[in-house]
Amino acid sequence: MKKIIIIILSITFIPILNSCSDFDKLNVSPNDVNEVDPNFLLTTSTYNFANTYSEFGYWGSRIPSLLQYYQVGDGYKSEELNALYWTPGQSSPWGTIYSNLVDVQAMSDLSVEQGNVFTEAVALVYQAGLIDLATKIYGDVPFSETNQLEEEIVFPKYDEQKEIYETLLVNLKTAKNMIEGIPGSKVPVLDGYDLLYDGDKDKWVKFVNSLRIRMCLLLNNKRNELSIDLDAEFQDAAQNVFTSSDDNAVLDYLGNSAATSFRGGPFRASELTYARRMGLGFLNSLRDQNDPRLYRWLRPVEKKWDKDIAATTTIQYTDPLGQTFPIEVLPYPNGYDDLDTSLYVGLPVGSQASWTAYNAGPQATSVEPKTTPFNSRLSEIYFQNANQYVGMNIITYSEVEFILAEAAAIGAFGVSDAEGHYKKAIEASMDEWGIFGDYVGGFDFNEFYSQEDIDLSQATNEHERIMTQKYISMFFRPEPWFDWRRTGYPDFVPPYDGAQPAIPIRYHYDSPTPPDPQYVAKYKEAVERLEKTEFVQVPTNDDTRSRMWLLQGTNKPY
């Protein structure tokens, strides 16, 4: 993963350029947005898009706990995060998405005015990415009438999801064609302002095409309702998608200020966050398949029970990636028969209770509740301002190979060789997490792959196996939620305490306070187009278990 310096710009603060050879007549007025070069807004919009998309997979949202990647252990928000009691307005990205779209529209308008084909194309891509995220989260959303205050449209209509996706696919292909049509191997952009690819035209084309095949697969279950030829779109895009991890659309955190740091680092977190612990089922799946990514994502316990010792001792444990940790090992206490003696211990999924004393046995009342040393906490990489393994992921080579593997497995889009793509996908994920370079003694991927639970040729259900391994590989990314909704894989169990009947498949819509009559009318139109499932127990369709168009008629995920 290449290191990228993140530059955050605003219209009111524009740095002095070292070189403007291609833009000799650039003249910026601090009071006139129309004089701002779209290159400046390219930088801002790139950061905003990458950050918004990736943050929806990290713990700024409810998705990583829904996906059972982690649970909160200290009771804070356990009802919302662990037991999935979602109410309107909680952790909603609505405002952020539509705020970012204002900048994207400004970039588009300036690009058209100044004849900058590249930034005009990128604006189409970022608009598509943000609207795609919004509609996947909520259902029908404002699109065609957004950013039209000059036309006195304060409350835009909610476009139907089918029409949104038909437009987005056209826009992405248009953007791809625009970029391909730029002469030479580089796109015209000021030095340092293309945070993704530093002006590399071919990588930009691969990026757009990779987003296109992701979108086509999302729509596969609804292909018969579309007016667009989904096979043609996929096949056109698949000719030039990511071919290695060097193509990844990822921004690294710089880590020199709060604005350029990961949310778990000291710049953005006042103290070490002990509450988030890996979900027990996810941890067990990693352990059962001897998955080395476990050691990248998780620390061992700080205190461990042991049935074979008589006195407490301290050991220095070195994991397979060469990381060393002190661990206090204690004799297994009498009167307990269910304590976990493993080096890595996760939290059971779905309870509203506090797990601060989980696995602590007789020390449940004496340990410091926040530290919970008897179950593992997330790796140090999630408590740093920046590191090479935690970035703002948009789409990666590993995901692209999983998309191709799934398409081949289900007989879609003319793709073949499911196992070849599947194997490349897992291998790429291992590479992205630094397993090949850091594994002590060298990591034998073929030996890992040959396991009965991983080897695709040994699977009784190829589709399920591909989706399960994709889910594991995309740790702390939002896409597995969208994948699960359309496929039903992996087979998540509802929250542990049984209070919630099913896992949410959408967010509630946001609503202004006080509600405006114009907004209410358009909101109600969108809500009426949602379809209640058997699990909706309230009068309104605006429920987390109502089906949006993407899921209607598919019998997925339930």
What confidence category does residue 27 fall into, taking pLDDT thresholds of 50, 70 and 90?
very low
Is residue 238 pLDDT above 80, yes or no? yes
Is residue 247 pLDDT above 60, yes or no? yes
443 exposure class (CB count in 10 Å sphere: 0-12, 13-18, 19+): middle
Residues 6+ away with beta carbon under 8 Å from 325: 299, 300, 302, 316, 317, 318, 319
Is residue 14 pLDDT above 90, yes or no? no
First to last CA, the chain: 38
SS3 40: helix
- CA–CA separation, 287 and 264 (whole Å): 25
Give helix 201-218 / helix 397-409 axis angle, nearest 10°.
Answer: 40
Q: Specify which residues 391 forms β-bridges with.
A: 252
Residues 6+ away with beta carbon under 8 Å from 14: 28, 30, 36, 40
- CA–CA separation, 477 and 378 (whole Å): 15
Over the chain, what is the mean pLDDT?
Answer: 91
Q: What are phi and psi of 197, to 5 degrees?
A: -135, 10
Length of the chain: 558
What confidence category does residue 367 fall into, taking pLDDT thresholds of 50, 70 and 90?
low
Give the pLDDT confidence score for residue 18 in this predicted structure: 32
Mean pLDDT of 346-359: 88
Judge contact between 154 and 215, C-beta under 8 A.
no
Judge contact between 218 and 395, C-beta under 8 A.
no
Give the pLDDT confidence score for residue 17 in this predicted structure: 28
Of residues 494 and 467, more confidently modeled:
467
- CA–CA separation, 323 and 410 (whole Å): 41
Is residue 91 pLDDT above 90, yes or no? no
Is residue 437 pLDDT above 90, yes or no? yes
What confidence category does residue 25 fall into, taking pLDDT thresholds of 50, 70 and 90?
very low
CA-to-CA dists, residue 12 to 31, 105, 110, angstroms: 8, 17, 16
What confidence category does residue 19 fall into, taking pLDDT thresholds of 50, 70 and 90?
very low
Mean pLDDT of 68-76: 88
- CA–CA separation, 160 and 172 (whole Å): 18
Model confidence, pTM: 0.92
- CA–CA separation, 444 and 15 (whole Å): 49
pLDDT tens-digit map of 389-430: 999 999 999 999 999 999 999 999 999 999 999 999 999 999
- CA–CA separation, 69 and 64 (whole Å): 5
Give the pLDDT confidence score for residue 73 in this predicted structure: 87
What confidence category does residue 1 fall into, taking pLDDT thresholds of 50, 70 and 90?
very low
pLDDT tens-digit map of 482-518: 999 999 999 987 766 666 889 999 999 998 777 788 8
DSSP label at 523?
Answer: H
Give the pLDDT confidence score for residue 5 in this predicted structure: 36
- CA–CA separation, 552 and 505 (whole Å): 12
SS3 552: coil
Give the pLDDT confidence score for residue 498 in this predicted structure: 60
Give the pLDDT confidence score for residue 496 in this predicted structure: 62
pLDDT tens-digit map of 196-220: 999 999 999 999 999 999 999 999 9
Would you call the peptide bond into 348 cis, given omega within 30 degrees of 0 as the criterion?
no
Q: What are phi and psi of 330, to 5 degrees?
A: -115, 145
Nearest to 470 by CA among 523, 401, 528, 381: 401
Mean pLDDT of 181-209: 97
Residues 6+ away with beta carbon under 8 Å from 336: 361, 362
SS3 550: coil
Is residue 54 pLDDT above 70, yes or no? yes
Separation of CA 244 from chain center: 19
Give the pLDDT confidence score for residue 8 in this predicted structure: 36
